[in-house]
Structure 1
Amino acid sequence: MELPPAMNQLFTKHGYTLKKKLGQGVSGAAFLVNNKEEDLYVIKEINCRDRSSDAVKQEVDILKGLHHAYIVAYEDSFEDREAGLFYIVMEYCAEGDLYKRMQTQKRNEFTEEQIRDWFVQICLALQYLHEKNIIHRDIKPQNVFLTEDGYINLGDFGCSKVLERADQYAQSVVGAELYVSPEVLKQRYTSKSDIWSLGWLLHDLCMLDVWSDILKRHNLHANSMRGTPPDISEKYSEELRELIKEMLSCDPNDRPTADEILAKPFLNDAVNRNKNIPEAFTRKFMKSIRTFDQAYNKHYNELEILDSKLTKAADSQEEIHYNATAGSLSGGVIGAAGGITALVGLILSPFTFGASLIVMGVGIGVGVAGGVTGAASNITNIVRQKSLCESLQQIEQNYNNASAPILNSLKTLNKLMKTIARFGVFVSASTSDKAQMSCRSTAVGAGEIMHLCLLANIGRFGAQADKIGRAASGLLSGLLIPADLAFIVKDSREIHEMINKKTTDDPETFKSSVLKSIAQMRKTHKELCNLLTDINKAREELNEYIETARADT
């Protein structure tokens, strides 16, 4: 789609490329974008003229501090001050929001198991927020997003409020009309108001048919505000129906907290299931492990061979340049001697006509010989230089072919593990320590232990994978040396510089363009060695999972 050039430039400046506009709200639009690594994100546009800049920054500050499996992840933010617009970059949830899912479901009821899973996931997110004294204040299906793996992410914190203490009231009327609690109309909003909104969301998941008549839905909400909770189909369990009534109590004190909801016995299975890494992630993780293992076994030796070839190429380039410089310098000296001899013969010609002609002829001959010597040296080395350039091109091509499968599989693993890491909020430090001990003392593969060990190791692997990504970026780019620079000979000082700094891998220590290039080759070789070391370290971090993946094939 077409965006104003200024907006395109702004997105590009911050490393994002627009794919499409997702929608337009009152305060701004939402855009689907990708970054330089082709990862998808949503950019939420906020018109700062409609909302104070302090309110916008509060939303950003809230998002920055939230790290939870069932809360939309914050990625970045930036501002267009001239246009009065603020942009928040967030995780992309590929399956849209829960409201759209409810619409497509129409009259076909969701199973109670599915409803319990989604409900528990939202409740776990609210439990996390309320522990931080944050109230969402806008719980509704439109702000609950579905990921491609089937679980939910609670989003849109534009109305959220951070309280100084847990029992404090927020004083404003916010939230969707059909989900607001009675106390909100009195401008007294607490965490229990989120529970009321979640109660109505749970009702709507059970009673999809109420949306066929919007007036009926309004009447049900109005009645609940006067103390008459809505009826729930008897297709659902008595415990679930009773919970909805408790959550829709007009007195906030009678409503359960998120902690009390999650402690309900009939929700135990759903809570245990959703406080663990989703099965879809486990399958993806093991598949990615196998992909990395196969890529490593197939291509790592090729990278080691290329590392050796790059060292030889740097040595060869240095030898070529040294010979070319020395040959040109020698030819220049011989040519200069010939020129002087010819000049002496010319000066003596009036006095010793015959002898002077002989001297001048010898001088001319020596000068020509000097030129031939220099030219021959350059021609010989130009041929060698061309061969070296072709060799470097082949090294670069082979590097790209060999490294891409390994680096891409590591990138996929790292991205997946960063998402999995958000489930670490359910694992205490003591549990994590026990998981590490279990990994060392028992066979990996028991589901829960493997999950705990994975969560415990993610931080180290993530740092290692990020380091590899940075090191591998453009590693061999710019190695090829232009032919017109290869044999620019200054004077004998260049040979002196080469001799004294032969092993230097810092291009900035040289004045010569060619010597800078040779140093760059040595520096690249050093970086490639470090990259190979880092890849091996990453493999060591994943070794126990690689063994499990092999056993499962």
Structure 2
Amino acid sequence: DLQDCVQLNQYKLQSEIGKGSYGVVKLAYNENDDKYYAMKVLSKKKLLKQYGFPRRPPPRGSKASSGEQPKAMAPLDRVYQEIAILKKLDHVNIVKLIEVLDDPAEDNLYMVFDLLRKGPVMEVPSEQPFGEEEARRYFRDIVLGIEYLHYQKIIHRDIKPSNLLLGDDGHVKIADFGVSNQFEGNDAQLSSTAGTPAFMAPEAISDTGKSFSGKALDVWAMGITLYCFVYGKCPFIDEYILGLHNRIKTKPVEFPEEAQISAELKDLILHMLDKNPETRITVPEIKVHPWLTKGGKEPLPLEEEHCTMVEVTEEEVKNSVKTIPSLPAVILVKAMLRKRSFGNPFEVQARREERSMSAPGNLLM
């Protein structure tokens, strides 16, 4: 099984350094540049499921010719399109995606990210929550990172302290923005739940079947995260998922006595944890909130000062993913060299590959 294979192209896979709903993250040593990276192992089957395959809006840049329906993209092409965009994201508060490897013979997709050795900014629960100054410094980074993602039409959907990594430059960088979270127009209209239960917004767990705004979900999770920063724990906790959902939907936010926080900070948290997404504070409003800007003395950069729209060419989409040579081919070459037999051992293999390429769906369902 390729998962147990320690070498993928120039990367040597080492210990597991993280786990999420999507799969695992492994430490990977790159022999070419003698550096370590974080390699996220994803399942293509799961990705396509997340897509609500096959209903998706057309990718950016595609123009439907007059009167014609735009040609629906194959689900995997959608994945490649999004990966091409993720690879071009470039922001001080976003973890950099280096490259993506695909093993056509297996269900795995490997995403190679910059390794941030300091790890998450905070483990929750924590006995040592941040003071307001430190919380403010880190939260300003998160707000700018999210503003950048939303500007690129990407919803994160899983903001929480363990996805906020500390860089060597002392800045927080947002990690684990996945594939399948991009939208068209001004905001995503979502209907499926994703993310971490304690950080989920009330509208995402209601059973009304109504769709909800993607940006407002990220704001709610940012509010839970800010609460964690200063209290070391989530505002809504229950050992049972239904109890947790009930608290998120009905219980008001309580501020424990043990940590005295400023009225401005309470105000910001309450506005982010507004149970009604229609009236919940938005990212542009958070940016000018007195707690974040010290009453306007330390304004955050304007959107146009730190955001430029990422555009991708067809060429970049085509090259967004590198293919790992299939293991059987490598083994066969070794066997041929041992036996010195140079017939065409690939015949069967080639026929199988050909079929799988013409109908990638079969491999992925």
**Is TM more than 0.5 here?**
yes
Closer/same/farther in 2, CA of residues 5 and 160 from structure 1, 3 Å limit: closer
Structure 2 partner of 1:196: 220
Contact 1:171/1:189, CA 8 A, preserved across alignment: no
Contact 2:82/2:182, CA 8 A, preserved across alignment: no
Question: Among residues 237, 241, 261, which one is paired with 1:236 in the alignment?
Answer: 261
Distance, in Å, in 2 between the alignment partners of 1:117 and 1:209 is 19
- 1:119 and 2:139 are equivalent in the alignment: yes
Structure 2 partner of 1:42: 38
Structure 1 partner of 2:23: 28
Task: Return the offset for 1:222.
Answer: 3.5
Structure 2 partner of 1:256: 281
Structure 2 partner of 1:85: 108
SS of alignment partner, residue 67 of structure 1: coil
Specify the code of the residue in structure 2 equivalent to 1:251. Answer: N
Structure 2 partner of 1:395: none
Task: Return the offset for 1:252.
Answer: 1.4
1:68-79 equivalences in 2 (<5 Å) = 68-79=91-102
Task: Return the offset for 1:80.
Answer: 0.9
Distance, in Å, in 2 between the alignment partners of 1:236 and 1:180 is 24
Structure 2 partner of 1:445: none
TM-score normalised by L of structure 2: 0.65
Deviations 1:397-432 (A, max 9, x none): xxxxxxxxxxxxxxxxxxxxxxxxxxx984599xxx
Closer/same/farther in 2, CA of residues 28 and 58 from structure 1, 3 Å limit: farther
Structure 2 partner of 1:294: none
Structure 2 partner of 1:166: 186
Distance, in Å, in 2 between the alignment partners of 1:215 and 1:190 is 27
Distance, in Å, in 2 between the alignment partners of 1:111 and 1:63 is 33
SS of alignment partner, residue 199 of structure 1: helix
Distance, in Å, in 1 between the alignment partners of 2:92 and 2:304 is 8
Closer/same/farther in 2, CA of residues 29 and 190 from structure 1, 3 Å limit: closer
Distance, in Å, in 2 between the alignment partners of 1:152 and 1:173 is 26
SS of alignment partner, residue 49 of structure 1: helix
Closer/same/farther in 2, CA of residues 44 and 428 from structure 1, 3 Å limit: closer
SS of alignment partner, residue 246 of structure 1: helix
- 1:141 and 2:136 are equivalent in the alignment: no
Closer/same/farther in 2, CA of residues 76 and 168 from structure 1, 3 Å limit: closer
TM-score normalised by L of structure 1: 0.44
SS of alignment partner, residue 162 of structure 1: coil
Specify the code of the residue in structure 2 equivalent to 1:108. Answer: Q
Contact 1:136/1:160, CA 8 A, preserved across alignment: no
Q: Which has the higher contact order (CA 8 A, sep 6+)?
A: 2
SS of alignment partner, residue 78 of structure 1: strand
1:422-441 equivalences in 2 (<5 Å) = 426=305
SS of alignment partner, residue 223 of structure 1: helix
Deviations 1:117-143 (A, max 9, x none): 111111111111222222111112222
Specify the code of the residue in structure 1 equivalent to 2:224. Answer: W
- 1:128 and 2:153 are equivalent in the alignment: no
1:174-189 equivalences in 2 (<5 Å) = 174-185=194-205, 186-189=210-213
Distance, in Å, in 1 between the alignment partners of 2:140 and 2:192 is 28
Closer/same/farther in 2, CA of residues 139 and 27 from structure 1, 3 Å limit: closer
Specify the code of the residue in structure 1 equivalent to 2:263. Answer: E
Distance, in Å, in 1 between the alignment partners of 2:276 and 2:300 is 30
What RMSD, in angstroms, separates the aligned Cα atoms of the two structures? 3.4
Contact 1:67/1:73, CA 8 A, preserved across alignment: yes
Distance, in Å, in 1 between the alignment partners of 2:146 and 2:166 is 16
Of Structure 1 and Structure 2, the greater strand share is in 2
Distance, in Å, in 2 between the alignment partners of 1:212 and 1:183 is 15
Of Structure 1 and Structure 2, the greater helix share is in 1
Distance, in Å, in 2 between the alignment partners of 1:32 and 1:270 is 43
SS of alignment partner, residue 50 of structure 1: helix
Task: Return the offset for 1:85.
Answer: 0.9
SS of alignment partner, residue 135 of structure 1: coil
Higher Rg of the two aligned structures: 1
Deviations 1:111-169 (A, max 9, x none): 11111111111111111122222211111222212223332111112265222111441
Distance, in Å, in 2 between the alignment partners of 1:26 and 1:235 is 35
Structure 2 partner of 1:205: 229
Structure 2 unmatched ranges of 5 or more: 49-74, 309-365
Task: Return the offset for 1:8.
Answer: 3.2
Contact 1:159/1:174, CA 8 A, preserved across alignment: no
Task: Return the offset for 1:76.
Answer: 0.7
Distance, in Å, in 1 between the alignment partners of 2:283 and 2:83 is 24
Task: Return the offset for 1:22.
Answer: 1.7
Distance, in Å, in 2 between the alignment partners of 1:216 and 1:180 is 14
Distance, in Å, in 2 between the alignment partners of 1:84 and 1:216 is 33
SS of alignment partner, residue 158 of structure 2: coil
Specify the code of the residue in structure 2 equivalent to 1:51. Answer: L
Deviations 1:432-465 (A, max 9, x none): xxxxxxxxxxxxxxxxxxxxxxxxxxxxxxxxxx
Structure 2 partner of 1:7: 5
Deviations 1:289-348 (A, max 9, x none): xxxxxxxxxxxxxxxxxxxxxxxxxxxxxxxxxxxxxxxxxxxxxxxxxxxxxxxxxxxx
Q: Percent identity?
A: 28
Structure 1 unmatched ranges of 5 or more: 277-423, 430-553
Distance, in Å, in 2 between the alignment partners of 1:427 and 1:190 is 22
